[in-house]
Amino acid sequence: MLPPNPLEDGARWRGARVGLFGGSFDPPHAGHRHVARAARAALALDAVWWLVSPQNPLKDRRASTLGARMQQVRAAISGQTRMVATDLEAYFGTRTTEGALRAILPRFPGAQFVWIGGMDTAASLHRWDRWQALLALLPTFYLTRPPAGSLVRRAPFRCLGGQRHVFLPNGQPRPPLVPGTTYWALTTPMVEASSTALRAGAGVL
């Protein structure tokens, strides 16, 4: 049996709108914070959980230790009262995002969840394991950049029949978080940053 996880507080999360922002965050940077803040504002989220992945299966490079990246994420979101760093994927021992979601969602039955990503994530979603099942589990949010229209149209998973696409803002201050729905938003100014450049010493948090 797994030990209690600090996030598992039914009273705290009951009725909450929570964004799940997954990634290796190796290291976290200003662009990550920009996506998380934009999603929180656009969807009126009560919290954003940064799901620090043990290892991104789509990346050949071995990530830095999970403990080191958790410390970096905590430092990156320090002072952000609505953002939480968590290693739930390692806690549940899951190897894919879809598997992690199937472990997480039943533990918080009173919460409403949405998956958060940037445009790079949207472009590669069709390569994820059981990505169609993921879209059926919870809504998704992607922050795009200019030229937004062409980038969104080229996102491969837009070919999936039945997936609903909503462009924000659309006049709803608290859009419903419905599985099978993808929310797209464009915010300016965009923040240009990458973990690769940071590892090479080309930028700082």
State yes or no: pLDDT of 160 exceeds 50: yes
Structural domains of the chain in order of their starting residue, each with its CATH number: 14-199 (3.40.50.620)
Whole-number Å distance between alpha carbons of 95 and 67: 17
Alpha helices in 8-126 (DSSP H): 10-13, 30-43, 66-76, 88-92, 97-104, 119-124
**109 falls in which pLDDT band (50, 70, 90)?**
confident
Query: Is the bond preceding 189 in cis, omega lying within 30 degrees of 0?
Result: yes
pLDDT in tens, 123-147: 999 999 999 999 999 999 999 877 7
